[in-house]
Amino acid sequence: MNIVAPSPVRLDLGERSYDIHVGTGLLARAGSLIRPLLKMPTLFVAADETVAELHWPALAASLDEAGIAHHLYRVPSGEGSKSFARLESLLSAVLDTRPERSTALLAFGGGVVGDLTGFAASILLRGVPFIQIPTTLLSQVDSSVGGKTGINMAQGKNLVGSFHQPRLVLADIDLLSTLPRRELASGYAEVVKYGLIDDPDFFAWLEKHGPALLDGDAEARAYAVRHSCQAKARTVAGDERESGTRALLNLGHTFGHALEAETGFSSTLLHGEAVGLGSLMAFDLSARLGLCPATDLDRLRAHLESVGMPTRLPAIAGGWQAERTMAHFFHDKKVDQGRLTFILARGIGKSFISRDVPQDVLRAVVTDWCAS
């Protein structure tokens, strides 16, 4: 069954506007969709090594059919690849092929490959075009759209990077079927986020269809990915550089990054799992501040449980320590003149940006979560 959306989602950014295709069978059409965007029929593909193992033959065949010559660079799987060393290695591999300003890079993988390749494209020859073929749920609904690129530093995640919009995004739902269930559920946290921010109907839809989506229902997946991309495209079109409302997309992320930092960005807690827990903590904080009904916190917890996402912090060696966890908040990119930015909620679908969260209530939330 081919589920191809009637038309691509358009991210409207003037001359930097681009299409986001969501559907099945897109890998086979990749060559013909990409070809009109290329000045020279050559692509440099940076692919996650696991994705390349599974899906490179299909993508290569599609590029061959469209007459696009290609070079392949395999990126080791995992967050460790968002490093200066990997960036240098990738740039050096591209430069060995004697690229020109119109040579395009293609990111074929999840968020790590997308962020790394997008950053490389933004600085190679002072900027070359790039295309995203995201292969994880998280990258299809969030990181491949919107032009945030970057790598990690010892001091924290994504601290070095750029805004560099892709020319095209192809979100092929078929690619999700080879993802481990835990990885899929982790990415699902970013889908739920769109409901929590400003779309209570979508949250209700997810309550009904989320379990089937995770169990493999292709139509539910296509609907949710497309709906999420529409929400992301709207938000980015309105605030590309995150001077305002784009920050809403960080719901659950300030808490989440702190949890990830405490678990050493390891498989103890995947990024999406941290975002799911962070969203719960944001709703808990909102409820304690009297902003949000506690029943909405319960509803969110019940939904995350229904799809098998963690709703408690995982056990870690030495146990969770509130003060240490809170210290990570101040390394966040979103710190503004020393003030922390949190996304709070007046209910499901009613999120807002807050820069004056009372520290004592924040501390109480973190302390309770660390103790539970």
- Residues recognised as catalytic: 126, 148, 190, 232, 242, 246, 250, 253, 257, 271
For the CB of residue 204, give the shortest distance to ligand GLY in the complex, in Å. Answer: 23
47 closest CA partner among 76, 67, 22: 76
Applying CB under 6 A, the span of 6-14, 141-149, 215-223, 261-269 interacting with ligand GLY comes to 141-149
Among 148, 167, 227, 303, interactor with ligand GLY by CB under 6 A:
148
Q: Are strands 18-23 and 9-11 parallel, antiparallel or unpaired?
A: antiparallel
Sign (positive or negative) of CA dihedral 313, 318, 322, 325: negative
Rounded Cα distance between 266 and 269, Å, is 6
Query: Which CB sits closer to ligand GLY, 68 or 258?
Result: 258
Question: Which of helix, strand or coil describes residue 292?
Answer: coil
Query: Which CB sits closer to ligand GLY, 81 or 235?
Result: 235
User: Is residue 301 a contact residue for ligand GLY (CB under 6 A)?
Assistant: no
Query: Which CB sits closer to ligand GLY, 30 or 248?
Result: 248
User: Is residue 303 a contact residue for ligand GLY (CB under 6 A)?
Assistant: no
For the CB of residue 142, give the shortest distance to ligand GLY in the complex, in Å. Answer: 5
Give yes or no for a contact between 171 and 5, defined as CB atoms under 8 angstroms apart.
Answer: no
Question: Which of helix, strand or coil describes residue 245?
Answer: helix
Type of residue numbered 259? L
For the CB of residue 242, give the shortest distance to ligand GLY in the complex, in Å. Answer: 6
Among 5, 229, 249, 370, interactor with ligand GLY by CB under 6 A:
249
User: Is residue 111 a contact residue for ligand GLY (CB under 6 A)?
Assistant: no
Rounded Cα distance between 135 and 157, Å, is 21
For the CB of residue 68, give the shortest distance to ligand GLY in the complex, in Å. Answer: 28
User: Is residue 246 a contact residue for ligand GLY (CB under 6 A)?
Assistant: yes
User: Is residue 274 a contact residue for ligand GLY (CB under 6 A)?
Assistant: no
Query: Which CB sits closer to ligand GLY, 250 or 325?
Result: 250
130 closest CA partner among 105, 155, 98: 105
| 119, two tokens | 């950053």
Half-sphere exposure of 329 (CA within 13 A, CB side): 21
Closest-by-Cβ residue to ligand GLY is 249
**How many C-beta atoms lie closer than 10 Å to residue 337's C-beta?**
5
Distances (CA, A) of 159 to 115, 151, 156, 311: 12, 7, 6, 28
For the CB of residue 108, give the shortest distance to ligand GLY in the complex, in Å. Answer: 20
Query: Which CB sits closer to ligand GLY, 157 or 246?
Result: 246
**How many C-beta atoms lie closer than 10 Å to residue 319's C-beta?**
9
For the CB of residue 145, give the shortest distance to ligand GLY in the complex, in Å. Answer: 7
Rounded Cα distance between 117 and 146, Å, is 14
Counts of helices then strands in the chain (DSSP H, E): 13, 11
Applying CB under 6 A, the span of 20-28, 44-52, 142-150, 287-295 interacting with ligand GLY comes to 142-150
User: Is residue 146 a contact residue for ligand GLY (CB under 6 A)?
Assistant: yes
Binding site for ligand GLY (CB under 6 A): 142, 146, 148, 246, 249
